[in-house]
Amino acid sequence: MVKQIDAIMKPKSIAVIGASTKPKTIGSEIMQRLRDYKFNGNIYPVNPKGGIIEGFQAYTSINEVPGEVDLAVIVVNAKFVLDTIDQCHEKGIKGICIITAGFKETGKEGAELEKQLLEKIRSYGMRCVGPNCLGVLNTDDNIRMDATFAESLPVKGDIGFVSQSGALGGGILNILKDLNLGFAQFVSIGNQADINAETMLEYWENDDEVKQILLYMESIQNPANFRKLASRITKKKPILALKAGRSAAGASAASSHTGSLAGADKAADALLKQSGVIREFSLKNLFSNAKAFSNCPIPQGNRVAIITNSGGPGIMATDAVCESGMQMAKLSDATKDKLRSFLPAAASVKNPVDMIASAPIEHYKQTLETVIADENVDMIAVIYLPFLGLADIDVAEALMEIKAKNPQKPILGVFMTKSEFFTKIANMNVNMPFYMYAEEAAEAMTRLDRQRQWMNRPEGKFPVYDVDRAKAAEVIKKSLSEGRAQLTTLESIDVLNAYGIRACKYGLATNVDEAANVANNIGYPVVMKITSKTISHKTDVGGVIVGIQSEEHLRQEYAALIERLKERNILDGLEGVIVQEMVKGNREMVCGIATDPQYGPMMMFGLGGVFIETMKDVTFRIAPLSDVDAEEMIKSVKAYELLKGARGTTPAQIDQIQETLLRLSQLVTDFPFIDELDINPLLISEKTGEGIAVDGRIKVRMNEAQEKLGSCCDCCSCNG
């Protein structure tokens, strides 16, 4: 695979098919970029008229080109592209970049054309970027290829950038110079008929020139493969992604709590988290934080020291650090003593170190050198405000000189000065990032720390439990045989039990005498709830009665329940009542599964009960879950503080709750046609701290379930 992509990213020769002498055309612009950036190989313009284009001899067809060609950049009309691919094959070209638009982005006919294109690409053993893209570039001094039609020539750097949007990619190339950020390589994947973000992730995984990867994505074609690749690559180098399209498409149609809270963006967000990818929500943040990775090592910890010449910004920076979850470093006594030896008496040698407004450049240098040497410090932010004629660029140069001698720790500059300073910095060879505001620097440090945590994160295991898969299948088959995609409460609990998920002791009763018998065997108090083939949310119809203390009480409540259902004219769907042990506990959590059409099964965990829709204190991950994923899910919600045992309550059995999530993950892996599942509430017992499934709802995709289980409903003729 690497050799094939090398033909595109590291070519020794390029043919521009559709090169043009006409100004302001893509065929002309690409030739100019290749010429002006001084491509280190042969350039062959191809144009039916021949002649000279941008100083290069043009050929009337690709077959006339005298030498071998690694990369063909195609800029002809869409209707000629397939024939052009045939000619490239005859020439022996393996690398293709199709700038031309007019494919699947235009509709049905374009999609068919793209399908034919891909068939040719694959049959000829080629690799292709595009179609409908901006092009590719590589700033390596041995390559120097700019085969794009962006306005600005690229700046050399350490970033591998994939952009799904061509126009946006062009804008990015134009603005990065002002941010003092450069590319190692850039790929505009366009319609990603062949090469996509995953292809480039794998290509850059072991490329030493690419030290960080930035992604602009509108979709992830193969989430499972993306997760596999990104999880591995982020252990070596950071990946920052701007994932566009945050609408929760389709969530409103879901019948479960999990389904209604889920959505396409929740799935994408979960996937990126599980892959170690740092997600950004704006181009500003993407590039702001990329500056830190370009100029800082990964820190050894999250202890931050702040050096400032003004108390106010120092306090704001401290707030930003603490609110982000990092720690303010505790400077050693030796460090504070040394700072006192040269700073004025009015200065503060605690963290943040306030050198006061009169601090000369020598104090900046001495203070930074002293703080760097403190073993309690992992990262440093140096704040400068213009006072007493001290020149900002002089301070920056002094800091960079010290950074060059001490590369082991991240140092970030916060220069609250004129914009001209940042223009000057953009034209300098810097070795540390500079920001205008402390909050930007704090956010960048959190990204550095997040990468550190991910790289130190255990790989995670995917345990397999001893379960009764056959019993679960039998229960689901029964529902299918009756033409029901929605399992009853009793069926749902039976499936949970088959997978070893702790549920309340229970029994089904179809009349009041049976209900009393079950309750007497379980022991009071009990809960009684309806199980119906037609009612999804039992509480909405008064179908859940708690705190039943005796047989007499049960009989009274049963009679009242039947009367309520009659009044609402919904008695016909009643399958019976479930009588359960009543678990005492005020902490109600939720576990669930929802299926995203693209990303597959999503696991949910969070605060449940009546608060689920209003508080929305939930988190999602893509199945299958590792043990580390499950642990992180539990710890990431705010309600985790309740689970730990707040205000004298019995601490929850976190390991047991984690196992519940893992067993649910195994369930949906074994039965991938489960569309939605809710355990709400997962009640935390005040007596034992166990998470106990008090209620359960399971819904399957009927056609898929029938196909997998070989079951057909009795109520109709089907092809399942």
Q: Which residues, in sequence order, are CB contacts of 502 under 8 Å at separation 6+?
A: 656, 660, 690, 691, 692, 693
pLDDT at 505: 87
pLDDT tens column, 227-254: 999 999 999 999 999 988 764 443 344 4
Total residue length of the chain: 720
pLDDT tens column, 666-699: 999 999 999 999 999 999 999 899 999 988 999 9
pLDDT tens column, 31-76: 999 999 999 999 999 999 999 999 999 999 999 999 999 999 999 9
Segments of the chain assigned to CATH 3.40.50.720: 2-210
CA distances from 270 to 87, 216, 237 (A): 44, 17, 20
DSSP assignment of 616-646, as one string? --EEEEESSPPHHHHHHHHHHSTTHHHHTTG
How far, in Å, CA of 94 to CA of 713, rounded? 53
- Assign 325 to helix, strand or coil: coil
Segments of the chain assigned to CATH 3.30.470.20: 587-709
- 339: tokens are 């700072």
- 574: tokens are 């009643």
CA 363 to chain centre: 43
**Using alpha carbons only, what angle is made at residue 481 by residues 480 and 484, rounded to the nearest 5 degrees?**
40
Element (H, E) at 490: helix 489-498
Which string of b and e fits 419-455 if b means at least 16 CB within 10 Å? eebbeebbeeebebbbbbbbbbbbbbbbbbbbbbebe
Q: Sheet holding 95-98: strands in order across? A: 42-46, 13-17, 71-74, 95-98, 127-129
How far, in Å, CA of 564 to CA of 577, rounded? 14
How far, in Å, CA of 284 to CA of 443, rounded? 12
How far, in Å, CA of 96 to CA of 15, rounded? 10
CA distances from 585 to 385, 573, 649 (A): 55, 31, 9
How far, in Å, CA of 719 to CA of 371, rounded? 73
State mean pLDDT over 707-716: 69
For β-strands 379-384 and 411-415, DSSP reports them as parallel
Per residue, the 3-state secondary structure of 386-399, as one string, reads CCCCCCHHHHHHHH
Least confident of 162-176, 244-258, 466-480, 700-714: 244-258
How far, in Å, CA of 272 to CA of 576, rounded? 44
Q: Which residues, in sequence order, are CB contacts of 600 under 8 Å at separation 6+?
A: 223, 224, 622, 623, 672
Q: CB of 475 within 8 A of CB of 554?
A: no
Q: Closest Cα to residue 433, out of 450, 415, 418?
A: 415
pLDDT tens column, 398-423: 999 999 999 999 999 999 999 999 99
- 314: tokens are 């120092």
CATH code of the domain made up of 2-210: 3.40.50.720
Fold classified for 587-709: D-amino Acid Aminotransferase; Chain A, domain 1 (3.30.470)
pLDDT tens column, 305-345: 999 999 999 999 999 999 999 999 999 999 999 999 999 99
Strand partners for 705 = none
pLDDT at 154: 87
Does the N-terminal peptide bond of residue 11 adopt cis geometry, omega within 30 degrees of 0? no
Amino acid at 511: N
State mean pLDDT over 497-518: 94
Amino acid at 18: G
pLDDT at 16: 98
Q: What percent of the chain has pLDDT over 90?
A: 81
The distance in angstroms from the start CA to the end CA of the chain is: 40
Number of other residues whose CB lies within 10 A of the CB of residue 679: 30
How far, in Å, CA of 686 to CA of 679, rounded? 18
pLDDT at 197: 95
How far, in Å, CA of 507 to CA of 531, rounded? 11
Q: Closest Cα to residue 697, out of 569, 530, 573?
A: 530
CA distances from 344 to 339, 360, 382, 458 (A): 9, 11, 18, 47
Element (H, E) at 575: strand 574-581
Amino acid at 485: A
How many alpha carbons lie under 13 Å from residue 169 in its C-beta half-sphere? 29
Q: What percent of the chain has pLDDT over 70?
A: 95
Segments of the chain assigned to CATH 3.40.50.261: 301-453
- Is 469-581 a domain of CATH 3.30.1490.20? yes
- 49: tokens are 């008229």
How far, in Å, CA of 379 to CA of 192, rounded? 40
Burial bucket for residue 178 (CB in 10 Å: 0-12, 13-18, 19+) = middle
pLDDT tens column, 131-187: 999 999 999 999 999 999 988 888 899 999 999 876 676 677 667 767 778 899 999
pLDDT mean across residues, the chain: 92
State mean pLDDT over 193-219: 95
pLDDT at 389: 83
For β-strands 526-532 and 574-581, DSSP reports them as antiparallel
- Assign 572 to helix, strand or coil: helix
pLDDT tens column, 250-284: 334 444 544 455 557 889 999 999 999 999 999 89
Phi, psi for 569 (deg, rounded to 5): 60, 40
What letter does residue 297 receive in the DSSP assignment? Answer: P
How far, in Å, CA of 32 to CA of 444, rounded? 37
How far, in Å, CA of 291 to CA of 280, rounded? 14
Segments of the chain assigned to CATH 3.30.1490.20: 469-581
pLDDT tens column, 416-454: 999 999 999 988 999 999 999 999 999 999 999 999 999
Fold classified for 301-453: Rossmann fold (3.40.50)
How far, in Å, CA of 640 to CA of 658, rounded? 12
How far, in Å, CA of 306 to CA of 338, rounded? 16
Packing angle of the helix pair 419-426, 392-405 (nearest 10 deg): 40
Q: CB of 529 within 8 A of CB of 489?
A: yes
Q: CB of 193 within 8 A of CB of 131?
A: yes
Q: Sheet holding 506-509: strands in order across? A: 506-509, 574-581, 526-532, 544-548
- Show the beta-strand stretches assigned E in 10-105: 13-17, 42-46, 52-53, 56-57, 71-74, 95-98
Looking up tokens 């993306």 gives 226
pLDDT at 720: 38
pLDDT tens column, 521-563: 999 999 999 988 777 677 778 899 999 999 999 999 999 999 9
Q: With 90 as the cut, is the pLDDT of residue 597 above it? A: no
**Using alpha carbons only, what angle is made at residue 504 by residues 687 and 258, rounded to the nearest 5 degrees?**
105
Helices and strands, number each (H, E), in the chain: 25, 30
Looking up tokens 């309520």 gives 564
Q: Closest Cα to residue 215, out of 236, 195, 243?
A: 243
Does the N-terminal peptide bond of residue 681 adopt cis geometry, omega within 30 degrees of 0? yes
Q: CB of 554 within 8 A of CB of 528?
A: yes
Phi, psi for 224 (deg, rounded to 5): -65, -45
H helical segments located in 257-382: 257-261, 264-274, 283-295, 311-323, 333-342, 361-372
